[in-house]
Homo-oligomer: A and B are copies of this chain.
Amino acid sequence: MSIVYDERVDGVLPKVDKAALLSELQARLPDLDVLHTEEDLKPYECDGLSMYRTTPMMVVLPEHIGQVETLLKICHQRQVPVVARGAGTGLSGGALPLEQGILLVMARFNKILEIDPAGRFARVQPGVRNLAISQAAAPYELYYAPDPSSQIACSIGGNVAENAGGVHCLKYGLTVHNLLKVEILTVEGERMTLGSDALDSPGFDLLALFTGSEGMLGIVTEVTVKLLPKPQVAKVLLASFDSVEKAGRAVGDIIAAGIIPGGLEMMDNLAIRAAEDFIHAGYPVDAEAILLCELDGVEADVHADCERVRQVLEAAGATEVRLARDEAERVRFWAGRKNAFPAVGRISPDYYCMDGTIPRRELPGVLKGIADFSEEYGLRVANVFHAGDGNMHPLILFDANQPGELERAEALGGKILELCVKVGGSITGEHGVGREKINQMCSQFNSDELTLFHAVKAAFDPSGLLNPGKNIPTLHRCAEFGSMHVHHGQLPFPELERF
């Protein structure tokens, strides 16, 4: 796909005098690393969503906040668009660069500034990797709860921008629930603090507004995250099912039994086999679906809950329920799940990872719907997802070298997301909207709601220089895209009912 920012529908970007900008940067920020040759720029043409690629006009790699401050002031004065990027692991093209813009790479801000075990927080720079926070907190028996599958590589600044989740967010919440404070630079290069060290902050909750705003409201320069005490014990149950619908129903049964698992994940046969081939986790390759249910807390509690969950799973028709025998097997069970995406990558030339949420009760029906779409479009779909919180990740398998397959994959993905919205869910759980789902936002929200989003954006960034073309579609794009608004399952015309 070549055109990723389309001025016809996304708005006209200012024309940038590249040579003049470059010489001003070199004059005012002589220590700043600036990449501007074709070969230097190439590695930055996409993030974790490789379907869309654009060569940025320029890439900057600052090392001091003062550099970012000056850079933003220069860009603001010259009206140069700026796209921020952390580790580049995002899956919705949120850090996709612009041909006429600067890509601001924050990866070198990788210092852990403070761990306060009594206050239970860590203050870190935005380029610090998610897992590095938990590693630094480990000596105090504390950890940072949100754990996206990319946690070994993804940075906390990107986690804030995308409001990242993970396999444990059913119990411990998303990024937004685990933040105390974020320092940002505004589009004008002014420093600002959102949130506070205290529990609550007066005025409007700009910290929550900022979290998940995908680089459109400001640049993260420092993050203070909450740390939690490590659970004393964690156990994982692996349950096999002979149908995905039964597994889907079992998820609702566990929650209805009053249990809050640390994680509750589901994989279907295609995902099971791919992961098993790759990781040798010990998964039952003949099962149509498995559930991984983690219970954590104190010994007695976990032991009792394991028994209750086992009973619920058996009553729901599980053909086998296995408790990980030891910590090594527990880690292996999770390794299979966390590596499911690359595992699927081994069995198909390309795959397209979707990310939609639905109310839990809709799981069986939506899984059936996805199977039907898969057949209709002639493309395999592997399901591996955060079942407990209704956050689905269908992986659509295709071969971009086969004419038409990419377009079919995109269309199939769109159908799945529309189905999510239709049953009362949403088009993204944790990967963000970015460039990928910009059109589906026209289905999720009506024009009044989109207008309100734009007004909020304008409150922070009136000239729209920060990450333009992502997250919130222009009304013009929605008109062009021609999507019917299917807000909360209410189709305006019954004859359009297609699910």
Contacts and interface: CB of A to CB of B under 8 A. Distances in A.
A268 interface: no
Interface in A411-441: 424-430, 432-433, 437, 441
A255 interface: yes
Given A199-B174, A300-B298, A449 B192 contact: yes
Interface stretch (A77-85, A203-211, A309-317, A372-380): A203-211
Interface of A: 117-120, 141-142, 163, 165, 169, 173-174, 176-177, 186, 190, 192-193, 196-206, 208-209, 211-213, 217, 229, 252, 255-256, 258-260, 297-301, 304, 357-361, 389-391, 424-430, 432-433, 437, 441, 444-445, 448-449, 452-453, 455-460, 471-472, 487-488
A301 to B, nearest CB: 4
Contact of A425 (B196, B359, B432): B196
A199 B141 contact: no
B258 A198 contact: no
Contacts of A260: 229
Contacts of A301: 297-298, 300-301
Nearest to A116: B361
Copies in the complex: 2
Contacts of A255: 118, 120
Contact of A429 (B199, B432, B455): B199
B177 A177 contact: yes
Given A193-B488, A360-B118, A456 B200 contact: no
19 contacts: A141-B258, A165-B199, A169-B199, A186-B452, A190-B448, A193-B488, A196-B424, A198-B389, A199-B389, A199-B390, A199-B391, A204-B209, A204-B212, A205-B208, A205-B212, A209-B209, A297-B301, A301-B301, A452-B460
B204 A213 contact: yes
Given A192-B448, A297-B301, A361-B119, A471 B203 contact: yes
A357 B488 CA distance: 38
Nearest to A356: B198
A430 B200 contact: yes
A152 to B, nearest CB: 23
